[in-house]
């Protein structure tokens, strides 16, 4: 009977593994990381008008191929990109290995439109992968399932004809296999641009199954027509009841666009990060190197400022999740273990009040300065006293609360 039960349990575990639903432990590092770098880079980075120019300007493939021929990134140094991500406090990096234009930044054997055959004459993904592995940085590959350079895909971009779809689908399966075979350990597979929505035509289940067979520990997003391991809202913070990640641009463009100076202030980027963290999500922030491979100075400055903030406040970011105790009158909050962190957007002055606290607060301190503050508590109402009259941090102030036991709420605050 015991042997029979063991066989049943083993069978169930194998079924879960095949479906991708055993992932809680596999996802642990990803959920702990909370902050990552997105990199949109390719042929479109040379003209500097965004990543959709082939479609939006309806550029014929032969004309676009000439643009690819002039793509010669002489300053390309992925080790610098990875070092910047680390300096910013990011825990993983996701590179666009192929965007919708179909141009592969790697040596694909099933396409003639690659960085080895047109343009640089080398495998750019290989250099990126080497830099990530050498630095101990978790690495993700973005891969667009559509391909505008194949015959018949443009102008509509999302073909319905099986004659057009079959080579598109076959190429995608072959290229994903290449990406997950030739570059060592890949931590994340980030799909995009799926066409069409019919997963049966696209063979999405087989695609995901192959990916998991080639990279058993890989985590996969939700844009290949299947549920995936995490959800990916774009340029909006939308919490989900499953692992999720908001991807954001620094300005308004994913690809390099020097005329787009609509940059979010550092304070807003940190607010977005803490908003994601407080709701149990990740924040994937995009950079857009130019055609030479240089990340714009404005983006580097912002990332370094974020990194300086994280050096003091990172304990409230990594491994963080929603808090049972809230102070929504002040901003966001999160929980890490038995500590609660208050992200204070509206500095209250010398007294910080919050309520609905069902546990005894034994100490509190301001992370920015390390200053401890006096705690007064009456039933579920708490007052932190002796704070500076003005906020000590210019971006986001964080107060750490330590409890006598597990932090609990009496009743959830309405707002």
pLDDT confidence of residue 45: 98
pLDDT confidence of residue 7: 41
pLDDT confidence of residue 240: 92
pTM: 0.92
Burial 143-168 (b: 16+ CB within 10 A, else e): bbbbbbbbeebbeeeebeeeebbeeb
Evaluated on CA atoms 77, 83, 87, 92, the torsion sign reads positive
In order of 68, 250, 278, the CA distances from 284 in angstroms are 27, 11, 15
Cα 330 to chain center, whole Å? 27
Please say whether the beta carbons of 144 and 193 come within 8 A: yes
Q: Rounded CA gap, 70 and 103, in Å?
A: 13
Class of domain 331-403: mainly beta
Domain 24-316 bears CATH identifier 3.40.50.12280: no
Phi, psi (degrees; rounded to nearest 5) at 264: -70, 135
Joined tokens for residue 311:
């050096």
Place of tokens 């922030």: 285
pLDDT confidence of residue 224: 92
pLDDT confidence of residue 1: 44
SS (H, E, C) the chain: CHHHHHHHHHHHHHHHHHHCCCCCCCCHHHHHHCEEEEECCCHHHCCCCCCCHHHHCCCCHHHHHHHHHCCCCCCCCHHHHHHHHHHCCCCEEEEEEECCCCCECCCCCCCCCECCCCCCCCCHHHHHHHHHHHHCCEEEEEEECCCCCCCCCCCCCCCCCHHHHHHHHHHHHHHHHHHHHCCCCCCEEEEECCCCCCHHHHCHHHHHHHHHHHCCCCEEECCCCCCCCEECCECCCCCCCCCEEEEECCCCCCCCCCCCCCCCCHHHHHHHHHHHHHCCCEEEEEECCCCCCCCCHHHHHHHHHHHHHHHHHHHHCCCCECCCCCCCCCEEEEEECCEEEEEECCCCCCEEEECCECCCEEEEEECCCCCEEEEEEECCEEEEECCCCCCCCCCCEEEEEEECCCCCECCCCCC
pLDDT in single tens digits along all 415 residues of the chain: 445 544 434 444 444 444 444 446 899 999 999 999 999 999 999 999 999 999 999 999 999 999 999 999 999 999 999 999 999 999 999 999 999 999 999 999 999 999 999 999 999 999 999 999 999 999 999 999 999 999 888 876 666 777 888 899 999 999 999 999 999 999 999 999 886 666 777 899 999 999 999 999 999 999 998 889 999 999 999 989 999 999 999 999 999 999 999 999 999 999 999 999 999 999 999 999 999 999 999 999 999 999 999 999 999 999 999 999 998 889 999 999 999 999 999 999 999 999 999 999 999 999 999 999 999 999 999 999 999 999 999 999 999 999 999 999 997 655 5
Q: Rounded CA gap, 111 and 109, in Å?
A: 6
pLDDT confidence of residue 80: 98
Q: Rounded CA gap, 1 and 259, in Å?
A: 71
pLDDT confidence of residue 202: 85
Q: What is the domain partition of the chain in residue ranges?
A: 24-316, 331-403
């Amino acid at each position: 009977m015991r042997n029979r039960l063991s066989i049943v349990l083993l069978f169930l575990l194998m079924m879960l593994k095949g479906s991708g639903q055993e992932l809680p432990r596999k996802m642990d590092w990803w959920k702990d990381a909370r902050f990552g770098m997105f990199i949109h880079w390719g042929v479109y980075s040379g003209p500097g008008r965004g990543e959709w120019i082939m479609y939006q300007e309806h550029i014929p493939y032969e004309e676009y191929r000439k643009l690819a021929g002039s793509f010669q990134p002489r300053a390309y140094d992925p080790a610098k990109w990875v070092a910047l991500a680390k300096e910013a406090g990011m825990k993983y990096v996701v590179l666009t290995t192929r965007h919708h234009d179909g141009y592969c930044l790697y040596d694909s054997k099933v396409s003639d439109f690659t960085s080895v055959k047109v343009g640089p004459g080398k495998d750019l993904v290989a250099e990126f992968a080497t830099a990530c592995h050498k630095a101990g940085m978790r690495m993700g590959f973005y891969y667009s399932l559509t391909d505008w350079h194949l015959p018949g895909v443009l102008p509509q971009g999302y073909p319905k004809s099986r004659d057009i779809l079959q080579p598109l689908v076959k190429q995608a399966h072959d290229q994903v296999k290449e990406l997950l075979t030739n570059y060592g350990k890949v931590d994340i597979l980030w799909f995009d641009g799926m066409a069409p929505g019919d997963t049966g035509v696209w063979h999405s289940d087989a695609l995901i199954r192959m990916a998991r067979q080639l990279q058993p520990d890989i985590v996969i997003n939700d844009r290949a027509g299947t549920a995936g391991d995490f959800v990916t809202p774009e340029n909006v913070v939308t919490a989900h009841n499953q692992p999720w990640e908001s991807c954001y641009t620094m300005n308004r463009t994913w690809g390099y666009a020097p005329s787009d100076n609509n940059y979010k202030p550092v304070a807003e980027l940190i607010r977005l990060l803490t908003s994601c963290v407080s709701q149990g999500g990740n924040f994937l922030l995009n950079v857009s190197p130019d055609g030479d491979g240089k990340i714009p100075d404005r983006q580097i400055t912002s990332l370094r400022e974020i990194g300086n903030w994280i050096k003091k406040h990172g304990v409230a970011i990594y491994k963080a999740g929603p808090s049972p105790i809230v102070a929504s009158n002040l901003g966001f909050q999160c929980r890490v273990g038995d500590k609660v962190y208050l992200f204070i957007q509206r500095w209250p002055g010398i007294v910080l009040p919050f309520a609905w606290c069902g546990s005894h607060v034994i100490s509190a301190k301001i992370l920015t300065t390390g200053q401890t503050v006096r705690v007064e508590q009456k039933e579920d109402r708490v007052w932190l006293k002796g704070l500076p009259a003005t906020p000590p941090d210019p971006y986001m102030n964080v107060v750490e609360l330590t409890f006598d036991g597990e932090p609990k709420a009496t009743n959830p605050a309405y707002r």
